[in-house]
Structure 1
């Protein structure tokens, strides 16, 4: 079904399908195309309203009877590493960071396949081939980087993050790493390093994607100080993740689609010149 604001873009809703995070529930997404000369402005504006990018599409959860899936970000100024995170940063401090243009390589794909086969063999991306992987990395109409982490001695690629550069932060679109190094906590390390990059660049936030309180797959995001979640039209600081479970599955948690679309703020396509 199509939903249209007074000016472009147009918004659509996906058909319900099984939720990958909460058993027995169905997910649905609200989405729009990301294209044209205003793509950067649209991406910045909708990212600040809980949307995420996947290639040239921006989407946000819009489930009928569940609001458990929340867009999450870290307020860089409020972040303080805990003892475990300090150990993780020290353990991986030898890794060499390389920030490149969004271009897919065979080495990236090999690491990506090992990661999926070990960690997400039954996930929605499990069948992604090399051409689809290249599309995920390269089909971006906005400012993106591939941030690689490699062993300085062996030159072996250890971890990768596809990262968008927003006006107010870094958005970690998708990341993957060597599944044979669970003791290294590479997923956590990449987030810690992105917090450092954002701080050095003067950017206030690191966007982590979606977080589902109560989902074991998402639990690591709740361990970061300064965590914020986009709820009912605003970003809220999360002090106790357990408090969110009480309202997440209430039947009135999600507004009708028409109300959701009407509440979306679009960027000014013709800004006034000073």
Structure 2
């Protein structure tokens, strides 16, 4: 009889670094590698425990004096879009989404660079090359998909193969209890379309279609204006010391 235990993941702690969200704060992260035949199972467990995935790494904040980063997940089955969100859906009726394997393309990278140059000129990803982007997309041992959002060409039917302008891209993990939005980007000139909001609403709809309960949005950082949008999607749960609890916060607005 083989009594050898299944290898457990090894966790590591990063050195302190400047926090990208809160001025004057330092951040540390605990992380492990998502590799091997149990990577998808481990990704599920760790995401449900407040971790996020980046390539083949799962990480979560481990800051000594700060607990501002809070894991957020939307309760997709109970979600009802606010009036402003319904306007976003109406503004993007001409968008067709297609789901494919986690494979990069030159067209995706071009849009990615436009997004970074407009929104994140001084961020940690600002100098990413085409090779860096390819690694970000392809370096996964879990069930990851690329969702491309394109403008429907005039005269094309609803079921037509999407061939129009690429407007946005989402890198998404399919898990046992929902979808995890790993990273998304879009044409920064689409302010009237509120395309970031549209992609989250689309993920909520997809999660409901799959019969799964949750859309994982990553971390909401209390006090960070750039993360404030995540509390708009109600109802949602936040991971606390007592486990996942409903967040009685903003109602999404009208």
Same fold (TM over 0.5): yes
> In the aligned structure 2, how far is the partner of 1:240 from the partner of 1:151?
34
Deviation string 1:196-246 (CA, Å, 9 cap, x unpaired) is 0000010110001111122111111111111211111511111126xxxxx
> In the aligned structure 2, how far is the partner of 1:233 from the partner of 1:18?
28
Counterpart selection for 2:240 from 231, 235, 255 = 231
Match of 2:192 in 1: 183
> In the aligned structure 1, how far is the partner of 2:233 from the partner of 2:217?
11
Match of 2:30 in 1: 30
* SS of residue matched to 2:115: helix
> In the aligned structure 2, how far is the partner of 1:240 from the partner of 1:180?
30
Counterpart selection for 1:172 from 175, 178, 181 = 181
Q: Confirm or deny that 1:72 pairs with 2:72.
A: yes
Match of 2:149 in 1: 149
> In the aligned structure 2, how far is the partner of 1:229 from the partner of 1:214?
16
Match of 1:11 in 2: 11
How many residue pairs match? The answer is 236
> In the aligned structure 2, how far is the partner of 1:111 from the partner of 1:189?
17
Return structure 1 stretches of 4+ with deviation > 3 angstroms: none
* SS of residue matched to 2:182: strand
Match of 1:194 in 2: 203
> In the aligned structure 1, how far is the partner of 2:197 from the partner of 2:224?
17
Give the C-alpha shift of residue 117 in structure 1.
0.4
Match of 1:58 in 2: 58
Asked if 2 retains the 8 angstrom alpha-carbon contact of 1:49 and 1:233, the reply is no
Deviation string 1:37-79 (CA, Å, 9 cap, x unpaired) is 1111101111110011111010011111000011111011221
* SS of residue matched to 2:201: helix
Asked if 2 retains the 8 angstrom alpha-carbon contact of 1:19 and 1:27, the reply is yes
Match of 1:86 in 2: 86
> In the aligned structure 2, how far is the partner of 1:90 from the partner of 1:28?
41
* SS of residue matched to 1:174: strand
Gapped regions of structure 2 (runs ≥ 5): 1-5, 154-162
* SS of residue matched to 1:66: coil
TM-score, normalised with respect to structure 1: 0.84
Deviation string 1:129-163 (CA, Å, 9 cap, x unpaired) is 00010000011101110001001117110000000
Match of 1:212 in 2: 221
> In the aligned structure 2, how far is the partner of 1:233 from the partner of 1:210?
17
Say which is worse superposed, 61-70 or 146-155, in terms of deviation: 146-155
Asked if 2 retains the 8 angstrom alpha-carbon contact of 1:88 and 1:185, the reply is yes
